[in-house]
Amino acid sequence: MRVDLFDFELPPERIALRPVSPRDSARMLVVRPDTIEDCVVTDLAGLLRPGDVLVFNDARVIPAQLEGRRGEAKVGATLHKREGPREWRAFIRNAKRVRDKDRIDFGEGVAAIADDRADDGSMRLVFEGDEPMELLLERAGRMPLPPYIAGKREADERDASDYQTMFAREEGAVAAPTAALHFTPGLMDTLEGAGVAHETLTLHVGAGTFLPVKAKDTESHVMHSEWGRIDAATADRLDAARTKGGRIIPVGTTSLRLLESAADETGKIHPFEGDTAIFITPGYRFRATDGLITNFHLPRSTLFMLVSALMGRERMQAAYAHAIASGYRFYSYGDASLLLPA
């Protein structure tokens, strides 16, 4: 499909630079095939059914943004995907100043050798020393805010907590599964009381999630792969819930993409561990997804294509036009939507 079919105009003031407080007070647009309803996240228990299961991504964001020097040249690196104990694929800012085998000094005793430049412009960074990577990044790294936020303000101490979900446990993501930022312990208690269950899986979101689609047609776009895991017990519980009539509703496109990667043609969800580069566009037949909670996405992005596949492109264009006109806050720190297809 033509990528320009997924375009829309977004006023810059609609981009949220901070989350609301409390988190579950964010607005939530409920989109069904025939209706659009303005709600708030705390309404969620009344919008779901007993037996439904929310599926959260428990990935924890690491301080994956690094600033350093190659000689006199300033160089930035955003870690994208781990390739070994001390090796990371990274997108490099000022990459023209970096050649294979160059050493980049990130300060605080942290340095890496760059090599293996890929077609997408990324390079492999092999970090020196034998300290755990977690300690190196804690010293030299900072929270990797999305470019549409980082371009307007610096990351600060608030982001260290604001950009983590209450489920964050498995370190390795370089972007947050932001739909889950709206959830609080109080909201989870309310949902449990309403008979809504929840499960967790892990998908280490990569920086590729923020890359624009540069191709003119979706068939020419190459997705970056991300590592994920669903254990056998979780897969069994999800299958059992669906057999009993419960709906599987992922919280965030990351959870959805991993569920769809793990499901077979019959909709059965299997244990999964490995990379996925699934690219969902209109025409895709969903196997394991009965709804979706997600934030509002960038125009011409793979994520707007995904929600268009779930609800229909014209439906989502209309929903986004309503959200823009009604003052909803967009992107990672913005408001939520609940998408319920027929």
**Alpha-carbon span 99 to 87, nearest angstrom:** 17
The pTM of this model reads: 0.93
**Calculated CA dihedral for residues 117, 121, 127, 132, nearest 10 degrees:** -130
User: Mean pLDDT, the chain, as a whole number?
Assistant: 95
* Torsion 322-324-325-329 (CA) sign: positive
Length, in residues, of the chain: 342
Report the percent of the chain where pLDDT is more than 70.
Answer: 98
Q: 71 is written with which tokens?
A: 């000689």
Cα-Cα end-to-end distance for the chain: 23
The enclosing H or E element of 338 equals: strand 336-339
| pLDDT tens readout for residues 20-68 | 999 999 999 999 999 999 999 999 999 999 999 999 999 999 999 999 9
Q: Where do the CATH 2.40.10.240 domains begin and end in the chain? A: 65-141
Of 252, 296, 311, the closest CA to residue 8 belongs to: 296
Q: Which residues pair with 337 in a beta bridge?
A: 29, 294
CATH 3.40.1780.10, the chain: domain bounds: 3-61+162-339
**Rg of the chain over all Cα atoms, to the nearest angstrom:** 20
Contact (CB, 8 A) for 100 and 71:
no
Among 252, 179, 261, CA closest to 226: 261
**3-61+162-339 maps to CATH 3.40.1780.10:** yes
Q: What is the pLDDT of residues 137-180, one digit of tens each?
A: 999 999 999 989 989 998 899 999 999 999 999 999 999 999 99
Residue 285 CA: distances (Å) to CA of 260, 277, 295, 310: 10, 16, 22, 9
| CATH class of the domain comprising 65-141 | mainly beta
pLDDT level of residue 128 (50, 70, 90 thresholds): very high
Q: Which residues contact 21 (CB under 8 A, 6 or more apart)?
A: none
Q: What tokens does 317 get? A: 């264009």
